[in-house]
Structure 1
């Protein structure tokens, strides 16, 4: 069985070059997840269609209400 070792070049690596962009991406995801609309959609996803129907609601209708989308004419 043979083992292969690859030495990384010294100095800057791709990981260190990408780190700021990854941090910015994580920050943007945190901002998006903190949105009240996202939290409402997450709560909606915890309910079954039967629970919504018992309240006289549809999943599509609630998504439209939360996102502020008017019904198609």
Structure 2
């Protein structure tokens, strides 16, 4: 009689640690990117309507302009 055993390999500790730090770094990168965009929105909001018109923006389009690469709107 033959016996077949399929032992499940134990997941290693190091890949799990690596995944954890990768996700932490991804979150930090996202937060930094968001802070830069918010700073850009605040800078554009501080401009007058005439200054915005010179650069081809309307006040209601500022958020769309800043996030255009993410939302494609």
Q: Same fold (TM over 0.5)?
A: no
Larger Rg: 2
With a CA cutoff of 8 Å and minimum separation of 6, indicate the structure with the bigger relative contact order. Answer: 2
Structure 1 length as normaliser, TM-score?
0.41
| Higher fraction of helix | 2
Structure 2 length as normaliser, TM-score?
0.41
